[in-house]
Structure 1
């Protein structure tokens, strides 16, 4: 799939988000956590976070000890291309999977990552594969209620046949997040808002009543430009096959 148009980039309506996952071993994960890129020294970078990863599933958090992730936001594709060509960090992660994301809709706020969305993009997007990112700065005193609510919602998501790929993100003590790739926007919305699947809605209500996080955002994105593999598969190809099979 093609990325956002050059005209959109010039207007400043679009921020590119990238995610990189790679199985690099525990020692190298620690190194990656120390090597988080900085917007002031990386041209075109607006935000970056290097994280530990885990499984999205019911029950206690399950860490994937040898896998690292890099979440970043960019001014445009050209800035990301320069980073991939010139910075040593993406070379550490080159054996994994990376995907580019066009933000379509944001709920909540994440001031460190000034996402701008094109109001027309969400309306015009086809009902194809969609990525949801959740981002949170955890209130430590609310950690246990958050883990309980998250376990219920994550267990239901993991069991949903429309979920193509998912990864939990964490950088202790406060940053928590999730990445999930869904077969289609309609399938994702059915999980999130369907009356027969209340776990996610209950978690949202509990957070609204007494927030789990100091800051939180839910970002819906159109994925494009994927490269490499995750757990031996290319998730975007799997999403295309799933969408074709559902027709």
Structure 2
């Protein structure tokens, strides 16, 4: 069965830089996006905005055997194996990425009460970055501080790739956030930013992907139980 994964690991900066420069390849690895972590809501000019010692990788695999072999035998995979990752079943997409052209708009049904993982990937229009930061930072803080998330972060690959990753207690709570109905201060920040994006897009391409979490492995920041 085709699966997706999202990995987090603390690695030497040179290892992260090499992965940012050249995407990893391995038998059974269909697609990989290597990224350096950012701190959600951090100042634009800040060491927290791009953390080469903390690497993320979003990937698609032919099956779990290919993933396991990569983690056991590949030098980058062995480094990622010292961190944390979650295995994912694809459910839904909005918009489309050239790197993932065959994903259907909807792959399965779901229960609104079940946990969900959301991944966004965007290729920025560089001249739109100031607008993106203006409207995007309030959304970063909304997701980071939301009581329904167990883990929320952002990552980047210069010069134009931005990604977000979040784990939610339920699809229902995530959708409430998206539509501005969460019981939190200033709940419409995400909806307002999406209205601004529709007015004039920040991105060359942008996709939101929804996944069912299957299993988590390893630890991140001393914790091993991020899935609800």
Q: Give the TM-score normalised by the residue count of structure 1.
A: 0.81
Match of 2:171 in 1: 185
Deviation at 1:37, TM superposition (A): 1.5
Alpha-carbon distance in structure 2 between the residues aligned to 1:145 and 1:163: 26
Against the structure 1 CA distance between its residues 155 and 102, is the aligned structure 2 distance closer, same or farther, given a 3 Å change threshold? same
Q: Deviations over 1:123-176 (max 9, x none)?
A: 244622211101000000101101111101111111211111022110000111
Deviation at 1:50, TM superposition (A): 1.0
Match of 1:83 in 2: 70
Alpha-carbon distance in structure 2 between the residues aligned to 1:115 and 1:87: 27
Match of 2:208 in 1: 218
Are 1:104 and 2:91 matched, yes or no? yes
After the TM superposition, which residues 192-231 of structure 1 pair with which residues of structure 2 at under 5 Å, given as runs? 192-195=178-181, 197-231=187-221
For the residue of structure 2 that corresponds to 1:93, the secondary structure is helix
Match of 2:128 in 1: 142
Alpha-carbon distance in structure 1 between the residues aligned to 2:205 and 2:105: 23
Match of 2:35 in 1: 51
Q: Give the TM-score normalised by the residue count of structure 2.
A: 0.88
Alpha-carbon distance in structure 2 between the residues aligned to 1:115 and 1:133: 17
Alpha-carbon distance in structure 2 between the residues aligned to 1:75 and 1:131: 20
| Structure in which a larger fraction of residues adopt helix | 1
Structure 1: unaligned runs, 5 residues or longer? 1-8, 10-14, 241-247
RMSD: 2.1
For the residue of structure 2 that corresponds to 1:226, the secondary structure is strand
Match of 2:152 in 1: 166
Q: State whether residues 180 and 189 of structure 2, in contact with CA within 8 Å, keep that contact through their aligned partners in structure 1.
A: no
Alpha-carbon distance in structure 2 between the residues aligned to 1:191 and 1:73: 27
Structure 2: unaligned runs, 5 residues or longer? none
Deviation at 1:23, TM superposition (A): 0.9
Against the structure 1 CA distance between its residues 110 and 119, is the aligned structure 2 distance closer, same or farther, given a 3 Å change threshold? closer
For the residue of structure 1 that corresponds to 2:60, the secondary structure is strand
Find the partner of 1:62 among 32, 49, 56.
49
Against the structure 1 CA distance between its residues 120 and 215, is the aligned structure 2 distance closer, same or farther, given a 3 Å change threshold? closer
Alpha-carbon distance in structure 1 between the residues aligned to 2:59 and 2:102: 11
